[in-house]
Amino acid sequence: MEVIEITVGHQGAALTGTTNEIIQLAIDRVSSLGGGIVTLLPGKYAMHDSIHLRSNVVLRGSGTDTVLWKPPSVSSPVKGLNGYGLYAVAVDHPDKFDIGSGIFITDDLSNAFYDTVATVCWKDGNDLGLSKPLNHDISARAKGTATTVYPIVCGYDVENVRLEHFVIEGNASENKYIHGCRGGGVFFMRSKHIQMANLTVKDYNGDGISFQQCINTHIENCSCLNNAGIGLHPGSGSVGFVIRNSTFRGNKEDGIYYCLRVSYSSCENCIIENNGRDGLSIGHRDTDLIIRGNLVKGNGRYGVYLRNDAGGRSGDRVLIAHNEFQDNCADSGNAELFFDAAAEDVRLIGNAFTAVERQRDSLFSGVYVNHPGCIGYIDGNRTSGYSLLSADSATSLINFSTALPEQALDVEHKPVPAGAMRHLNG
């Protein structure tokens, strides 16, 4: 089967240019023909807006010599009240914004998914026309702002997309922060069958990679390095994602943050180190997870944290096996793994807990259980220099056993059940 391929580069390519506009032109052309490959030749490309992905498209770089770079951001206060659903926002300084630039709009009353990322489509006086409607009322009274920050690469409602062999350089020192519900070096929303391979996302003022409400996302041989937010942020009900042979290092917040109701995933053979908060953080209704064969070291707090959850449903049916946890709690904390939730069926098998560069006192442990409702199984783990298991009280250890269930977790050997995706399919 013949597949169309269009090259983009500074010179010697089918399409010649150095900005997101020429890359977008190639993607839209390939998409109009039913899909294909866009190959970026070596060079540094300035991203004045996101690359907006289309279904059935491969975006392929030329390795570390292909760099997508974020120019410095500009910002302006908004004017007056800008109502929910409008395709425009009024700002004090419209001259700072160009038609075609990406824009992030927020205020003190807006947050997370209520914020808006769009493209400036037109200008009229103080009004900036938007490609997407405002998700919330935005006002000057609530200190509203418009800023040219956005994902470098994004996909909304796309499927069968592959990203490979390029670098995203976020230029964090010259850009304002954008959170992972609307931004990231790479960002996907409501998308299916996404593959990322041999990507590096570094120095982005936000999360490295974020995907929300997605099905079947595969991340292999990727790196999220020194980003100002989370390294990897799977969230908002995402199902069936695989993370393999990837590195999450030096991010200011968590290495990997399982956000809300993510399930049926695996994280295997990764390096998760020197992040500012937890190596891996698991929260509300995040279930059916495999965390296996990883090196988790030197993170600011816990290697794995099961977050406290008022509903009591953080971390059900989680396998944590054959990992090496080393020198976590670099800034605070009393254990490599901290379980602060009433999780059901957490299995700890064959993990190594070691102190290489840090002295541990008698109060430190490999696993600390801080909730009496946590039900766990522990087998074949080993520690060096401190106790394996401790708790806030003897009551919290009542539901921990060294006798493993005979049956493996479903996530280990069964496909994702159809019912696990109903909340995303309407």
CATH of the domain at 99: 2.40.30
Question: Tokens 């519900």 — which residue?
Answer: 181
Each residue of 150-205: pLDDT tens digit?
A: 999 999 999 999 999 999 999 999 999 999 999 999 999 999 999 999 999 999 99
CATH of the domain at 373: 2.160.20.10
Residue 408 lies in a domain: no
How does pLDDT run across 204-247, given as a tens digit for each residue? 999 999 999 999 999 999 999 999 999 999 999 999 999 999 99
| pLDDT bucket at 312, cuts 50 / 70 / 90 | low
Question: Same structural domain for residues 127 and 206?
Answer: no
- Average pLDDT of the residues in 345-360: 92
Q: Which domain holds residue 110?
A: 75-147
Number of domains in the chain: 2
423 domain-assigned: no
Residues 81 and 51 in one domain: no
In a domain, 193, yes or no: yes
Please give the structure tokens belonging to residue 122.
């037109």
Cα 60 to the center of its chain, rounded Å: 20
Of residues 420 and 133, more confidence is placed in 133
Is 245 inside a domain boundary? Answer: yes
First-residue to last-residue Cα distance in the chain? 34
Question: Rounded to an integer, what distance in angstroms lies between the CA atom of residue 99 and that of residue 130?
Answer: 10
Which pLDDT score is estimated for 345? 95
Measure the CA–CA gap between 82 and 28, rounded to whole angstroms.
Answer: 31
pTM for the predicted model, two decimal places:
0.97
Q: Does residue 96 sit in the same domain as residue 206?
A: no
Residue 385 pLDDT class (50, 70, 90 cuts): confident
Q: Residue 421 domain-assigned? A: no
Over range 60-83, report the average pLDDT.
Answer: 98
Burial of 174 (0-12, 13-18, 19+ CB in 10 A): exposed
> Does 4 score more than 90 pLDDT?
yes
Looking at the predicted structure, is the pLDDT value of residue 64 above 70? Answer: yes
What percentage of residues in the chain have a pLDDT greater than 90?
A: 90
User: Does residue 141 sit in the same domain as residue 185?
Assistant: no
Domain boundary among 147, 174, 197: 147
Are residues 158 and 133 part of one domain? no
174/205 Cα distance (integer angstroms):
9
In contact, 219 and 198? CB cutoff 8 Å:
no
Domain boundary among 147, 174, 206: 147
Is 8's pLDDT higher than 70? yes
Given a cut of 80, is residue 372 above it in pLDDT? yes
pLDDT of residue 362: 81
**DSSP secondary structure letters along 278-325:** -SEEE-BT-EEEEEES-EEES-SS-SEEE---TTS-BS-SEEEES-EE
Give residue 20's pLDDT: 98
Residue 332 pLDDT level (bands cut at 50, 70, 90) = very high
On whether residue 414 sits in a domain, the answer given is no
Looking at the fold, whether 45 and 97 belong to one and the same domain comes out as no
Averaged pLDDT for residues 270-293 = 97
Question: Is the pLDDT confidence value at 6 over 70?
Answer: yes
Question: Residue 405: pLDDT band by 50, 70, 90 thresholds?
Answer: very high
In a domain, 413, yes or no: no
Averaged over 24-36, what is the pLDDT?
Answer: 97
Domain assignment of residue 162, yes or no: yes
* Co-location of 243 and 387 in the same domain: yes
Tell which of 147, 162, 193 closes a domain: 147
